[in-house]
Amino acid sequence: MGLEQFGHDRWWIVLAKVLLVFVFLVVMTLFAIWYERRVVARMQVRPGPNRVGPAGLLQSLADGLKLAFKEDIMPRAADRVVFFFAPVISTVAAFTAFAVIPFGPVVSVFGEKTPLQLTDMPVAVLVVLACSSMGIYGIVLGGWASGSTYPLLGGLRSSAQMISYEVAMGLSIVAVFMTAGTMSTSQIVEAQRTGQEVDFFGWTVTLPGWYAILLIPSFVIYFTSAVGETNRAPFDLPEAESELVGGFHTEYSSLKFALFFLAEYINMVTVSGLCATLFLGGWRAPWPISIWDGANQGWWPLLWFTIKILLLLFIFVWLRGTLPRLRYDQFMRFGWKVLIPLNLAWTLAVAGIRVLRARTDVTIIEKATIVGFLAAMALLVVWRWPSRTPKEPVTPHPPAEGRIGAADGFPLPPMDLKVPPR
């Protein structure tokens, strides 16, 4: 599917696609909230929502209606204009990012041939990254405009989180661009249609088509960065309840809070859809379903694409129900000292492999030398990786003057301490 197929739809088809994207994201958000609560309840051996609707499926809709009828409180010290537009920015950016995600191949709608994708462009993946970056501004502005300390700290944490993990996410998909030779989402899906034949020391090896297997370090780094980008546990530092009450949305209520809530779950669906597009073959059916000739035709690919998103959402929920929140210094150290250096080294390795594949005058001895050098460097990095220095055992001092803890290093107030008058 090429870029020439876009931009020729009738106006009513464009409106239908916009409505499809909007309805898909809203329904997926309502389902993801119920899905998360049921999965976490299953992990904790408890029922979960099961009263409103069949199996509790209408619980998310009931919660949304409850939020809509709550009182909308505006703090006295808030900047009214920025306070109002902050959740709108996050929500609009979250919806816009899904415009370039392909849902399926070319289908027939009332006799009109059209691809199951709103639009595409040569730099479509960069549009998704730009929209996800713009969504962070809503969080930062919402925390600043609230006129309170805790939201301000949550907004500052969010800006640091954006800088740290947006760089890692952008670097993780550079290998995809080099392998597919394009930044168009539809063409990246097309590049994963079949496996790639590679000459490996004289033998022809057929590599799998999905980049999640071919470029597994990029896949792992991307998904880790996506968890940090969407403020999900264990990286939910901008809204740490135990530290910042509610973080950047502490002062928000009613529909404004609902917009922030909606933007978070839409961002989860967006990064999951982009992950499926870049690394899991997009809307194409997995093996062995792909053996069926009609698996990748018509409206069936929409089902495979939705299933892939649900599986990735399950990993989001799994992490939230399993891992505790990281400390802020651990969070920053992991982004700058682990993810980004690994990204740079992996991107350099992929570029070197592509250069070697393009040259025909490289002998097997030269290839073996290069592979051995890379393996030796990897072993050296693992061997010299800094480990935590064991702390020296502290020798307890005997208590002075019969008082426990009065030795050096354990200051205690005097016994005759008097509180000064007010």
In tens, the pLDDT along 227-276 reads 888 877 787 777 766 777 777 888 888 888 888 888 888 989 999 999 99
388: left (phi over 0), alpha (psi -120 to 50) or beta: beta
Per the structure, the count of domains in the chain is: 1
* pLDDT at res. 395: 58
pLDDT computed for residue 392 by the predictor: 61
Per-residue pLDDT, 402:
47
pLDDT at 19: 93
Res 192: pLDDT: 86
At 96, list the tokens. Answer: 């816009």
**Contact yes or no for 273/95 (Cβ under 8 A):** no
Domain assignment present for residue 376? The answer is no
* Residue 395 forms part of a structural domain: no
373 within some domain: no
Q: Evaluate whether residue 59 is within a structural domain.
A: yes
- Cβ neighbors of 135 (< 8 A, separation 6 or more) are 89, 90, 93, 94, 97, 263, 267
- Residue 309 in any domain: the answer is yes
* 138 located within any domain: yes
pLDDT recorded at residue 221:
92
Which pTM value belongs to this model? 0.82
Query: Is 365 part of a structural domain of the chain?
Result: no
Where the chain has pLDDT below 50, the residues are: 402-406
Q: Is 259 exposed, middle or buried (0-12, 13-18, 19+ CB in 10 A)?
A: buried
Domain membership of residue 193 as a residue range: 3-340
Residue 32, domain member (yes or no): yes
User: How far, in Å, CA of 107 to CA of 115, rounded?
Assistant: 6
Q: Are 119 and 6 in contact (CB under 8 A)?
A: yes
